Structure 1
Amino acid sequence: MAPPVVRGTAAWKYFGDFRDALLAEQVLVLQVAHPVVAAGVRDHSDYASDPWTRLMRTVASLSIYVYGGVAGARVEAARLRSLHRTFTGTADGRRYSALDPAAYAWVHATLVKAPVDAQRFFGVPLSASELEEYYAQMCGIGRLLGVRERDLPRDWAAFERYYDAMVAGFRPNPTIDTLFETIRTAGKPVRWLPDSWWRRLRIGQLFLVRATLPPSLRKTLGLKWTEADQRRFERFAACVRFVATPVPAGLRTAPMRWVGKLNVWLRAHPWAHRLLVGGRD
């Protein structure tokens, strides 16, 4: 039985930490590095034409699993599985499904790993006991989502071996190229943001992808990384750590928790949900 996600537990403190957002694009690259995920995104996702709406819907969904309560998580998980059941097609002459167990587990694995990496890069690494509790909680959430128990390793050490082996097997693919191009060319999320600021933010996003990807995958994808880049990233990480670490966990997770509670209410009131998102999921 997975430990419940309640205030003060590891998943509650780290899954919604605002520093996790610094790894958002890195997670997307890791997900679409899986060939089945890449095919599904290529054929069924609108992220390239409307990345900000797609991002908001993804954040809304993720927030429910940890901060929306068990009942809310179950409803959202059922909705997502029903939606993904329709995502099928052909890739390299073979049929694929978005609910392919290995691919489905990998997507969840990237979401499990990102908050741990965010703390390693930009905060204080989780202790052994925190990792044990966090991983057990995220496995429980995975089972709510329909990830089979046998598709997630039994403990954190085994999970890290699985994660590294998956990354080692990935190769470049056109969906990764499209994702990088989308990050390079995406329009501003809000009109009032100065163009010069947005150009710098896009450059920063691409830099953070290169900085935080596993080095082996960075090399496989042909992404340049120098000692000067590493020093620049370490300075940036130190600044984030200095600013964010003293902030109480309740404040670091507040935005995601509020989004989670709001979205549970919206899911329970379809008219409000349709009004807010225009009938899109």
Structure 2
Amino acid sequence: MADEPRARPVSRAADVEPLGPGSLTWKYFGDWRGVLLAPWAGAMQNMHPGLGAGVAGHSRFFEERWQRLFRSLYPIGGVVYDGPGAAETARQVRGYHDAIKGVDDRGRPYHALDPDTFYWAHSTFFMLTLLVADRFGPGLSEAEKSRLFDEHVTWWRLYGMSTRPVPESWPGFLAYWDRMASEVLEDNQPARDVLDIRRIARPPALSWMPHLVWRALRGPQARFTVWFTVGLFPPAVRERLGYRWTVRDERRLRRIGRAVHHVWRLVPFRFRYHPRARAGWEREAGRRSADAPRVESPERYAPLPDERDSPKHYAPPGGWRAGRRQQ
């Protein structure tokens, strides 16, 4: 059968040339618009049986949603934007997942570093990048989508993982994505919990906002976020989760996407990117020293106090106060 996943030669992560500012991945992955798709990525990831089991058994994500989201952006973004240090960042990210393993409630063993499971998470980050550009940006040609696919393979190889799950081409990836959506992903509690944001806490960045105001905004925001997220799901996933999506819904979502694109063009370049991504752009432009300390997550995004020393959590070198000083 054409475009079946086949093994590529395995290279050491240190031998992989990292992505750079000429790549489409640099242009779109660290863009703040990606945060709009965070619930989409979380639900898609958690519907994978092994990944969902790992979240259910080892994560306290739902007790610290905002903190987990924003601190994760630093090391994950670093695999793209850290230049010569990208392979080391990838090794660290991989290490956070080493102890996440067990047996789920149906007796199935899982491990976060199983190549199929880890690649599924990686594939959602690739598709998030593509959706930002295609649905909330200028749009992408098929040639550009294929180019993004090739870049995501380079990104994957930085982890030093097996290339066995990786499709050979962009058409092969589309077949993989459709098969995962229709045959592998499950309706499970971790995915449902991602979509249940009716009582989500106030974001740390909005600590100045009175709680009463946040509670008034939270309901409409939650309903819009779920609608927006459902619109980006593959049809098979919407059907499995029991959501309905109409032609009218699709037209409305596309109008919103065009509006986001046009408004975003007015945002100054340096404010479009997450701090770790922005540091990469500044380094490549010569405005930041190549040996400057990496930009790390501030303390407000630290894990819960009794979790801070766990090896499964990212932590800045020297601790969270050091991370705050580097902002």
Please classify the TM superposition score into its range, dividing by the shorter chain length.
Answer: 0.7 to 0.9
1:54 maps onto 2:74 in alignment: no
Aligned residue type for 1:264: R
- Aligned pairs for 1:85-104 (under 5 A) are 85-91=98-104, 92-104=106-118
Pick one of 172, 190, 202 that aligns with 1:158.
172
1:175 maps onto 2:195 in alignment: no
> Is contact 2:76-2:93 (8 Å) kept?
no
Aligned residue type for 1:270: P
Q: Which has the higher contact order (CA 8 A, sep 6+)?
A: 1
Aligned twin of 1:274: 320
Q: Which has the higher helix share?
A: 1
Aligned residue type for 1:192: W
Structure 1 unpaired stretches of 5+:
none
1:2-34 CA-to-partner distances (Å, cap 9, x unmatched) read 775222321111212232222111011110110
Aligned residue type for 2:229: V
User: Structure 2 vs 1, CA of residues 144 and 230 (structure 1 numbering), >3 Å: closer, same or farther?
Assistant: same
Aligned residue type for 2:253: F
What's the C-alpha RMSD, in Å, of the aligned pairs? 2.7
Counterpart Cα distance in 2 of 1:38 and 1:228: 32
1:154-204 CA-to-partner distances (Å, cap 9, x unmatched) read 1211111111111111231121122222x2221111333332334332222
Aligned twin of 1:82: 95
Instruction: Describe the SS at the equivalent of 1:184.
Output: coil
Counterpart Cα distance in 2 of 1:226 and 1:2: 44
Aligned twin of 1:203: 223
Structure 2 unpaired stretches of 5+:
1-14, 284-291, 297-313
Instruction: Describe the SS at the equivalent of 2:62.
Output: coil
Instruction: Describe the SS at the equivalent of 1:202.
Output: helix
Pick one of 28, 42, 45 that aligns with 2:56.
42
> Is contact 1:60-1:259 (8 Å) kept?
no
1:236-259 CA-to-partner distances (Å, cap 9, x unmatched) read 222112222566766634645136
Counterpart Cα distance in 2 of 1:253 and 1:26: 20
Instruction: Describe the SS at the equivalent of 1:123.
Output: coil
Pick one of 148, 151, 155 that aligns with 1:137.
151
Instruction: Describe the SS at the equivalent of 1:185.
Output: coil
Pick one of 145, 148, 153 that aligns with 2:162.
148
Deviation at 1:144, TM superposition (A): 1.3
Aligned residue type for 2:317: P
Aligned twin of 1:216: 236
Counterpart Cα distance in 1 of 2:120 and 2:164: 13
User: What TM-score comes out, normalization by structure 1 length?
Assistant: 0.86
1:192 maps onto 2:208 in alignment: yes
1:230 maps onto 2:250 in alignment: yes
1:88-134 CA-to-partner distances (Å, cap 9, x unmatched) read 11111132111111111111011111111222211222234433332
Instruction: Describe the SS at the equivalent of 1:52.
Output: helix
Counterpart Cα distance in 2 of 1:160 and 1:13: 22
Deviation at 1:209, TM superposition (A): 1.0
User: Structure 2 vs 1, CA of residues 4 and 93 (structure 1 numbering), >3 Å: closer, same or farther?
Assistant: closer
User: Structure 2 vs 1, CA of residues 249 and 14 (structure 1 numbering), >3 Å: closer, same or farther?
Assistant: farther
> Is contact 1:122-1:240 (8 Å) kept?
yes
Counterpart Cα distance in 2 of 1:201 and 1:276: 34
Aligned residue type for 1:239: A
Counterpart Cα distance in 2 of 1:206 and 1:152: 30
Pick one of 27, 31, 45 that aligns with 1:13.
27
Deviation at 1:64, TM superposition (A): 0.3
- Once the two structures are overlaid, the 10-residue window that deviates more, 261-270 or 166-175, is 261-270
Counterpart Cα distance in 1 of 2:193 and 2:112: 19
Counterpart Cα distance in 2 of 1:246 and 1:215: 33
Deviation at 1:37, TM superposition (A): 0.3
Instruction: Describe the SS at the equivalent of 2:158.
Output: helix
Counterpart Cα distance in 2 of 1:237 and 1:98: 33
